[in-house]
Structure 1
């Protein structure tokens, strides 16, 4: 990395409050959220268009909830297959792990198949709703620097000229080979898997059986996945000595497909690509006014479909914080909670993905024999079967510190720091809707039975109203017909499924403070809500930290 100060006195060709580097799903999701908040955003992409070849094929309920928050879920759902089961098979075809979780506590199917370019296109089209968001394609990052007031970028254009960009913050979503991360000198520790995999996508699905199968064949492990719109994906391990060029030859491709199809010549090949699986985590996610997100911050093997979804969790966690800071409604230290909350969970998902890869293709053959024997016995134990069926092995995000309030009495088994549920509710107009559609991209103070504003002072009400907070009273549906006994600004909702009453019944609290990313920031009762709100406001309004000047020329 060479230090070469930018000419800060030169006028900027482009100005924005936030620059998002990279028009992948994470960058597009962040730009959509910030666009909804009225933030001036510039998306910079080095390619001349969105990537059009399929990559990720699994999208989970948390990611769909994020897409719901940016108002695009109805356009994304037609490109998904809900309740997509994942089945691990022995070499002889016996299913020893059937993962088909049927829970929907967050409002959507836990596992869904999708084709990433189609969803990316929806996210990009969503940006056209906002006059404050612009996208520049075919722009290569040449140089960047930061100071106490913002970030400077120099980018090259297709005709070879240079453009200067000035922004308050830079979010680097520029992939696993991130030039921003590398030039900041941020470590990216982890491992690269010794084996590559060739991915083959086929139109007019020649099998057309649902779900995804992972066959643990020691000769050549493979994956067979049904995707929306009649697409079938096969993934085969590339064995030692094989190359992408050799495997792509018609006769070798036919030999691969003969393993899974009776007529390997009768296929409509879309494309094939060879991938290397990495498991790496950035040493830090924030450097002053520059933040890393998605693959720039962490990459993981594909076996649990969590690379895409972990990136979307980054977007959901970071975007609302960045919006508050840019608007001056929160101190810049709030951005430190992004790494504090996201890094440990990203590491847990990396470890899970690596483990799943070892189940599919054990490093040693004897480990596969042990796996098959143990799986045969465990499959007869109902608790173990439920463990896989309900996907309980997946580590759910739970933040123990950051932008939240935990009292000493709430530490053990507290839901604070976990994602709040999203059942359907009945509004006063008699319509059944999802809870998040009532909250919008805002904080929410959700109270069971009582007036959520009762314990708040006038100053507290003004503070939380300024943030756009939704004050919600939950009632049994039959009580919606009674006269209102709450503040005029309170939204009354009926608990049409009973899930909310059941949720509050687990804990010694009746009021939930929910963040814009739907994570529970605190619990209270009417007599303590004022103190909990004060404690949370302090976490959001920390003093801005000093940012040292740093200039990086892209190597």
Structure 2
């Protein structure tokens, strides 16, 4: 057990995208952080392939707004083909809210993304990375966590930290050490994932009705063919991903032979023009841990929940976990809030995750139909829905608001829209004014209570700041004059009149222990310029 003061404020186990983002957020928040990763080198092969605009906002918040867009590509949508290999369903990404807003869906090559996120850690002298160390044991008491890790030589080190984030994936050693069971939601299918670089033109099969958006590599393609469901994802640059569902009776080893791969890919492109980067058989599962917090240990990402990939939200889940936990942990670790605030982590995140998992399971059940009659009935139902639909539907529409936890149930829970504001005539993304803090965006001047200063809240006057009318219209629809925004860019509440009563409820939700003395002046747009 820990004695005296632990060496670190935060120990992060695992440095995939979720752990690396969590480490950047921790470094930014001032935590003395140690990251341990069992692999000596970054994983050089692609896995995750898409993230949404909410995650890009997280990347921007950790200072990577220029680097990451340079290695991504917008995904315009996805087309589903039915048993007759003609379109049955189309998802179209919503247009960007403004030219300086982020694209709603973004394709990426994971080794490039991870390299950028990891490189960002060099900015923080308070963050230490220890690669080539495997966690072997974890214990905790009222003062902190003690972990043991072993390197490739068998040497063991002991680490003391006040808190631990388990970002160590689906087979999480931390989760297993704490004996936290998983809830199996009831989906399991085997799919072969083939990542390639292509060096020649596609030869779209005449048997398939391929829309121009797919041919131009702007959209992904889901072939819901009962003979063998398959997916084609047009990655960035020459990267292309094929995914094939394994049929009953097929062995994993049967589908990774050169002949099998050439036959399948050869339907779409000359296989001599394809460089295979990797092949892997995945078991798409839907699993959620019973507990996401055990004392001072929190589970994040796949350690806490595993999502079938049909809406591309797996990595996004974990990064949302990190973005929410860091600001809560900062309030607790600083003594401003008590540990009860950390209980809101699962209260907020689990329903959010389960809603997306359930939507992914439902989508997967339709995609994976192997009975021809059931597939034909599905196709008819999907086409009827498409004909009756009034507007377009995007894959990101499945992402719900927060419906419980640190929100005002009547007016909060949604993500702050990507408004654009004018600052001395210059258009700026609204997030640049938030600064990762509690923010009162207001059209009217208000005095705030000392508790607002205790949570590092600030005030931004948005009078005459609307660059394109969207913020004014949004507030008008809600008869609101102000917005209270959380550090993770979710809205706590909106309203008109004095926000003090709503703030008092916020402070109760945050389990505050004390308040700070100094008053917080209203900040003008000009004062916010950096």
**Distance apart, 1:541 and its partner CA:** 3.1
**Distance apart, 1:369 and its partner CA:** 1.0
* 279-288 or 42-51, larger mean C-alpha shift: 42-51
**1:275 paired residue number:** 282
**Distance apart, 1:470 and its partner CA:** 2.9
**1:127 paired residue number:** 121
1:446 corresponds to 2:441:
yes
1:422 corresponds to 2:430:
no
**Distance apart, 1:525 and its partner CA:** 2.6
- Contact between 2:82 and 2:376, CA under 8 Å: does it hold in 1? no
Instruction: Tell me which stretches of 4 or more aligned residues in structure 1 moved more than 6 Å.
Output: none
Aligned residue among 475, 492, 515 for 2:463: 475
1:534 corresponds to 2:511:
no
* Structure 1 SS opposite 2:89: strand
- Contact between 1:332 and 1:543, CA under 8 Å: does it hold in 2? no
* 170-179 or 242-251, larger mean C-alpha shift: 242-251
Aligned residue among 434, 447, 456 for 2:429: 434
1:405-451 deviation digits (Å, cap 9, x = unpaired): 34xxxx3xx3x1111112211113x2211010121111110012x12
1:42-96 deviation digits (Å, cap 9, x = unpaired): 1111111222211111111111111111111321112211143111112333222
* Structure 2 SS opposite 1:513: strand
- Contact between 1:83 and 1:102, CA under 8 Å: does it hold in 2? no
Structure 2 residue runs of 5 or longer lacking an equivalent are 203-214, 515-530
Aligned residue among 478, 483, 504 for 2:475: 504
* Structure 1 SS opposite 2:225: coil
TM-score by length of 2: 0.89
TM-score by length of 1: 0.85
- Contact between 2:481 and 2:495, CA under 8 Å: does it hold in 1? yes
**1:549 paired residue number:** none
* Structure 2 SS opposite 1:278: strand
1:206-237 deviation digits (Å, cap 9, x = unpaired): 43731210001111111111011221111111
- Contact between 1:192 and 1:277, CA under 8 Å: does it hold in 2? no
* 226-235 or 99-108, larger mean C-alpha shift: 99-108
Q: In structure 2, do the counterparts of structure 1 residues 199 and 205 end up closer, same or farther at CA, with 3 Å as the change threshold?
A: farther
Q: In structure 2, do the counterparts of structure 1 residues 392 and 64 end up closer, same or farther at CA, with 3 Å as the change threshold?
A: closer
Q: In structure 2, do the counterparts of structure 1 residues 395 and 438 end up closer, same or farther at CA, with 3 Å as the change threshold?
A: closer
**2:29 paired residue number:** 37
1:372 corresponds to 2:379:
yes
Cα distance in structure 2, aligned partners of 1:286 and 1:542: 20
- Contact between 1:79 and 1:229, CA under 8 Å: does it hold in 2? no
**1:46 paired residue number:** 38
1:20 corresponds to 2:23:
no
Q: In structure 2, do the counterparts of structure 1 residues 364 and 393 end up closer, same or farther at CA, with 3 Å as the change threshold?
A: farther
1:467-520 deviation digits (Å, cap 9, x = unpaired): 4323111123xxxxxxxxxxxxxxxxx101111101110113311110000111
Cα distance in structure 2, aligned partners of 1:76 and 1:205: 25
Cα distance in structure 1, aligned partners of 2:199 and 2:381: 34
Cα distance in structure 2, aligned partners of 1:83 and 1:500: 26
Cα distance in structure 2, aligned partners of 1:422 and 1:266: 41
* 147-156 or 101-110, larger mean C-alpha shift: 101-110
1:398 corresponds to 2:402:
yes
**1:481 paired residue number:** none
Aligned residues between the structures: 498
**1:112 paired residue number:** 106
Cα distance in structure 2, aligned partners of 1:392 and 1:142: 38
- Contact between 1:18 and 1:168, CA under 8 Å: does it hold in 2? yes
**Distance apart, 1:466 and its partner CA:** 4.5
**2:70 paired residue number:** 78
- Contact between 1:300 and 1:353, CA under 8 Å: does it hold in 2? yes
**Distance apart, 1:334 and its partner CA:** 1.0
**Distance apart, 1:195 and its partner CA:** 3.3
1:252-276 deviation digits (Å, cap 9, x = unpaired): 1111112323x22332222211111
* Structure 1 SS opposite 2:309: coil
Q: In structure 2, do the counterparts of structure 1 residues 120 and 288 end up closer, same or farther at CA, with 3 Å as the change threshold?
A: same
Aligned residue among 244, 250, 270 for 1:236: 244
- Contact between 2:83 and 2:375, CA under 8 Å: does it hold in 1? no
Cα distance in structure 2, aligned partners of 1:468 and 1:72: 23
**2:486 paired residue number:** 515
**1:3 paired residue number:** none
**2:359 paired residue number:** 352
Structure 1 residue runs of 5 or longer lacking an equivalent are 1-5, 477-493, 545-555
Aligned residue among 195, 215, 224 for 1:216: 224
* Structure 2 SS opposite 1:228: coil
- Contact between 1:115 and 1:228, CA under 8 Å: does it hold in 2? yes
**2:198 paired residue number:** 204
Q: In structure 2, do the counterparts of structure 1 residues 35 and 392 end up closer, same or farther at CA, with 3 Å as the change threshold?
A: closer
**Distance apart, 1:387 and its partner CA:** 5.0
- Contact between 2:73 and 2:108, CA under 8 Å: does it hold in 1? yes
- 1:47-66 map, 5 Å: 47-66=39-58
- 1:261-410 map, 5 Å: 261=269, 263-362=270-369, 364-383=371-390, 386=391, 388=393, 390-391=394-395, 393-400=397-404, 402-406=405-409
**2:155 paired residue number:** 161
